[in-house]
Amino acid sequence: PTISDLAKVDEDSLLKLWEGLGYYNRAINLKKAAIKIEIEFDGIMPETEDELESLPGIGPYTSGALLSIAYEQQVAAVDGNVLRVFSRFYQIEEDIKNPKTKATIKALVQDSLPQYRNGDYNQAIMELGATICIPNGRPLCEICLLQEECLSYKNSMQMVLPFQSKKAKRRMETKTVYILQYGDKYAIRKRPSQGLLASMYEFPN
């Protein structure tokens, strides 16, 4: 219920509470961030970009979302949806995974922010990307309110953009899993604290 409670909870209890939500590393980072807030910020959530991004698990997008939505500051929140909307709107033909392209788009978003209700604006762009300027398949340009100003639409580039480099191929692993039972007890072990499914429990393999 509080930052202090989160900082004090033991990791096993935290992961049990988080069970079923996935991305377990987020729970670990939340605890690490809470500890840092307790120690360095007197238990009070910071309200600046640099301070927020110094916390484990918080990058530029999350800090922008927090500052604009929770604190109503004039800060851009750029997620994958926003990258797609702006790359199409301005017909940006560079790789949106490239840090330089991301920085260019973030600057454009920052310049476009209204004087008030920046959180609503950021959420509206994200929603536009999730529901109309969609990632897979044909974007719904015919019902988009930005259609007349969109360079990709004018130049029939909306199916080509955004350009992004391909993801690395997933590595497949084959393992033998042992289910060791003794009466009504089973042998399990804890995974390493780093890497895939860090600190989770599993059958020996």
Q: pLDDT value at position 193?
A: 81
Average pLDDT over residues 121-143: 94
Give me the sign of the Cα torsion angle 33, 39, 45, 51.
Answer: negative
Q: pLDDT value at position 140?
A: 96
Could you tell me which of 204, 205, 200 has the C-alpha nearest to residue 11?
A: 200
Q: For all residues of the chain together, what is the average pLDDT?
A: 93
Residue 190's H or E segment, with its range, is: strand 189-190
Q: pLDDT value at position 157?
A: 93
Average pLDDT over residues 173-198: 92
Q: pLDDT value at position 164?
A: 87
Q: pLDDT value at position 112?
A: 96
Q: pLDDT value at position 67?
A: 96
pLDDT digits (tens, 9 = 90+) for 48-66: 999 999 999 999 999 999 9
Exposed (0-12), middle (13-18) or buried (19+): which is 77, by Cβ within 10 Å? Answer: buried
Average pLDDT over residues 100-116: 95
Q: Higher-confidence residue: 101 or 200?
A: 101
Whether the per-residue pLDDT at 186 is higher than 90: the answer is yes
